[in-house]
Structure 1
Amino acid sequence: MWDELGFRDNPYSPKPIHANEEGSELLVGRDSELRKLMTYIRASDTHPTLEGPNGVGKTSLVSVAGFRLLREFEEGKPGAYIPLSAPFQLTSEDTLQSFKQRVLYAVAQQFISRSSLLKEKGYSVPNDDEIDQWLNSPLFHLTGGGGSLAGFGGNATRSTAPNSSSGFSESGFVSTVKRWLDECFPSRAAGGFICVIDNLELLETSRGARELLEAIRDELLNISGLRWILCGARGIVRSSASSPRLQGVLAEPIEMKPIDDASAEQALLKRIEVYSIGNSNPPVEAEGFAHVYRIGNRNLRNALKYCEDFSMWAHLEGGLTENSQDKLKLIEAWMAETADKYERDTSGVGNRAWRVFDDLVAQGGAASPSEYEQFGYETQQAMRPQLKLLEDANLIESAVDESDKRRRTIVVTSRGWIVNYKRSGFEIS
């Protein structure tokens, strides 16, 4: 489909952009946040954090920051800041031990991947052949009664045994990786591996996030040679970072707000330019994208998702045209029809719930449960049935955080904003 339209790939993909030259080019409207993040990684003794709505572009920003720092190191700038291959996510099922194992395994793998680069730049690195053999073989070598890894431990007697836990069956593994990090990155200025914890809100409450982050503070956040970035939504990063045990460890969050309308149009134009392989015919052009972006309360990921859905529909229905005004009218009509269909699916929502919804939209689409009086209720419990109806209709998302009632954990969903477009008479604020 995209080839027929003159593209080598989907220009409306809602996935985070990649940590490469293309991703760096596609990041539009984030110069200030990117400069702040890269400066914190290089210069601060605290770990940077990002706070912003889901879909605002936090993961993309982190990817590009890591890519640019690595490229600068390759080009000769001091400081080896090397991102791990993928971000981590914490869930309520994670334990300190399981998370530490995942992190240090990824660090060991990255030592293998970047060994040549680090050696070329004069860094002290462990023997990557021994690391690779030990981590990625179904067997690990036992020397006497203890394992041998890159010269750590052991005596003259050798045997083999199943490597049953991906490199973590040896008690000395943690201390060995820490030693590698100490030797490779003897100071903060020397750099370190960039580790990302994404979607911190998956821990559901700021208490859960704080407890796990406090547990990993000394075990991981204070390890030499690891630079952490924490990302989250709904105020969970700010709440977690306010813990006395984490102050001085985590920096104040860099606030990620939606990019302005002009930058959103430029982001779309850049995607069309980068992915075009000739005389392309984009189903949604800049003006149509801005229309969708505003309807969805300026959520970049959701706007791209709806443009992708529209493109698939228009292609399959044979409704594509090359005239820009006709394209704009068609996407406007499709969005109106989508909004009408979504509203028809909300038959279970009564008038009292709609009043809560409209009030929530009027104050920007996010609120704390403790703000129940602003919605005309005497208690939080009294408002809860109306929130449940809105949740069941997928108009809002709601979470309870008993440890921090200030967190704005009631938010309008993507579908909710589309329904609001219909309820407002197809007007865009």
Structure 2
Amino acid sequence: MSWIDHWEPEKPEFWESTGKRIARKNLALSIFAENLGFSVWVLMSIVVVSLGSVGFDFSVGQQFWLLIVPNLVGAVLRVPYTFAVPRFGGRLWTTISAGLLLIPCTMLAYAVSTPGTPYWFFLLTSAAMGLGGGNFSSSMANISFFYPEGKKGLALGMNAAGGNLGVAITQLVVPFVITFGTGINLAYAALIWMPFVVVATALAWLFMDSLTQAKPDGQSYKLALSNQHTWVMSFLYIGTFGSFIGYSFAFPSLIKLSFVDYKGWVALAFLGALIGSVARPFGGWLADRVGGAKVTLGTFVGLAVGTIGVMVSVDSRNFALFFGSFIALFVLAGVGNGSTYRMIPAIFRTQSADDKSAKRQAAAVVGIAGAIGAAGGVLVNLVFKFSLEGSKTLTPALTAILVFYGLCLGTTWWFYLRRNVFAARPSLAYAGV
């Protein structure tokens, strides 16, 4: 196996002569595998829109459970996946996690090609798609070990954005692929990814590396779990990433269910995830310049305004406002993803005199917040499900989401921006939170 025993990225001479080339190679292959993970994770978001066209007549509630289950499984898997890299090595675990994507693809191809496939098998298939959701945490953990501290931000931002783009790629490609030939061929939605999964698996095994210094750090996790800021930032990440992934799963279905006359626009649902993914690095960049908490606060103000725009559009049956407001929500969620992740290391620099311990705790919080934030997508789809089943409209769900954004806004201000906080902990202001 390709294990590297000597790795000193903080030494400029080592980085320039050896480290940079190896790190970039592993980053590129990691992005490829993670991108496919996201692509498979959200695959049901497009497939569920067309199930009725091929003879599977599921209720609105059943359709939303097909969206909720992969989101839930992916969120849960992010915790063990974070520890998998230190246990198995980045090379082996990337190979395994990429290869596992063949399971949901095979199951989906069978399910949609077999008349009378029971609903429980579709639920099981959706659960298997959650395997792709866990890839984010292991990929981010792996790449963090390769880069020096001064270059981790950009590398992890590229890795995260590259993975998030898998959502947009699926929602762009699949609506066209399934119409090849005559009628709707939903099996193509699964089959198209399988060659790429095989290639990603082979490339990971043949060319990626594992670092022996990437050891598990249980003490940092214990310290992080006992720190209130871990839970505050996880709560805020529910509002940003939870919104991004929740809306990504729901947006195509919401177009079809809320504006039947515009269901052809489902093919453009990918624009939300695409713009939101691209906006993520911008959020981190902006936070570096004006402070993560200020950007995050502004993000939640914008998310609240965008939600009101969706509410008005639903009441007035204005599709242009509906679509535009959702695109704005995606952009703001992407910016918020970048700014909240930027806040974490800044906050934990103020929590410990030991710089190394602070960095390890921050890394632990990134994994914890990533899992909890992904679970936020489950909550988003649950409120949409109950709202559409109960009142046949999105208004109750949007009202609940609006209230939640208000809580996120207040939390950001209370913990990181009110004047008394800086009076008691001036280091927070100094850290650029």
**Normalization by structure 1: what TM-score?**
0.21
Whose helix proportion is higher, 1 or 2? 2
**Normalization by structure 2: what TM-score?**
0.21
Task: Give the structure, 1 or 2, with the largest relative contact order (CA under 8 Å, sep 6 or more).
Answer: 2
Structure of greater Rg: 1
Whose strand proportion is higher, 1 or 2? 1
